Structure 1
Amino acid sequence: MGQREQEQFIFANIFLLANKLQLIGDSLMEETTLKQWFLLIMIKTMQKEQPSISEISDFTGNTRQNTKKMLENLARKGYVTIEKSTVDNRALCVSLTEKCFEYFVVNEKSGNEFLDKVFKNIDKEKLTIVIEFFEQLFQNIDKFNGSKEVKYD
């Protein structure tokens, strides 16, 4: 397989992998979808007390509209609160609730078991190569897209 075919293979398989992970993840989650869970994790990762919806959408690479819709669903379920910013009345700020943090604790074990199954028989060296690959891919996409570079520490 030539380089162009390898690139096409990888590109197509990223989408296939995302779809398969979403199907499996959605079937394992009780109150949230995999995308909603991911959004909650990303907000926690931001380590900002009350990020705005715009900041969250920039950080996660989603549109503001999609982010707001997911957050409204999560607010109805009690995982987040959405309030007007005290600094900027136009901005809506998001806070994770106690229910959200309890959800993280309750689902940690099943999440780890899921990861164990997904990454079974993949050694640390291969994981390191994939991490480096994705870091470079994100850098290339951010340059192509002209968007803000996001660090995934």
Structure 2
Amino acid sequence: MEISDMIKNFADKRDNQVRGIFASIFILQNRLQTVFDKADEYLTLKQFMLLTMIRFSHDEKTTFTHLGNLLGSSRQNAKKLALSLEKKGFIRITHEPNNKRNTLITMTAKADEYLEIVLEMHNQKLASIFNDYTDEEIKLFYGMITKLYAGVEREEQTEDE
């Protein structure tokens, strides 16, 4: 079955459309990861995402738990990504002076230099991927993604209870 066949087969009813959206998100995540992994010889997309989250979390704690929550992954997966970034010289992993149980993650100058170069490549790829959308469609899509987050968070809370 081709993607176009799947899209056509799932277009008839709401339940099928929901299944088609879910399958498409899963497939697109894998395809986006492949596109960006091929474009960057130094970091995987997951490593890049963790690095950018560290960069923009300067006012918050950058613990493995916090970063795992931002990534939508476990603390252990965030730690594994962080250790690979540390090994490559992009971050430093230390402990809070007043609480040795809390890990702090900070970017190195190498990471800053790397991000200045690679962010432009990422911006160009994103612009290309979303080139077919009008500004209004982007705004609508962003609002729908926000609603999807709310639904996922609701399910996560239900599972935690």
Hey, what does 2:64 align to over in structure 1? 53
- Which amino acid in structure 2 is aligned with residue 144 of structure 1? E
Hey, what does 1:113 align to over in structure 2? 124
Deviation at 1:109, TM superposition (A): 2.1
- Alignment RMSD (CA, Å): 1.5
The answer to whether residue 80 in structure 2 is matched with residue 69 in structure 1 is: yes
Are the aligned partners of 2:47 and 2:81 in contact in 1 as well (CA < 8 Å)? yes
- In structure 1, the gaps of 5 or more residues are 148-153
Are the aligned partners of 1:36 and 1:70 in contact in 2 as well (CA < 8 Å)? yes
Q: Compared with structure 1, are the counterparts of its residues 49 and 136 closer, same or farther at alpha carbon in structure 2 (3 Å cutoff)?
A: closer
Q: Which has the higher contact order (CA 8 A, sep 6+)?
A: 1
Deviation at 1:4, TM superposition (A): 0.5
Hey, what does 2:103 align to over in structure 1? 92
Distance in 2 of aligned mates of 1:131 and 1:61 = 18
Deviations 1:44-87 (A, max 9, x none): 22233652111211222210111001100000001110011112
Hey, what does 1:30 align to over in structure 2? 41
Count, aligned residues = 147
- Which amino acid in structure 1 is aligned with residue 53 of structure 2? M
Deviation at 1:96, TM superposition (A): 1.0
Query: Which of 139, 149, 157 does residue 138 from structure 1 map onto?
Result: 149
TM (norm. structure 2) is 0.86
The answer to whether residue 31 in structure 2 is matched with residue 16 in structure 1 is: no
Are the aligned partners of 1:78 and 1:97 in contact in 2 as well (CA < 8 Å)? yes
Tell which deviates more after alignment, 63-72 or 35-44.
Answer: 35-44
Q: Which runs of 4+ in 1 moved over 4 A?
A: none
TM (norm. structure 1) is 0.90
Larger radius of gyration: 2
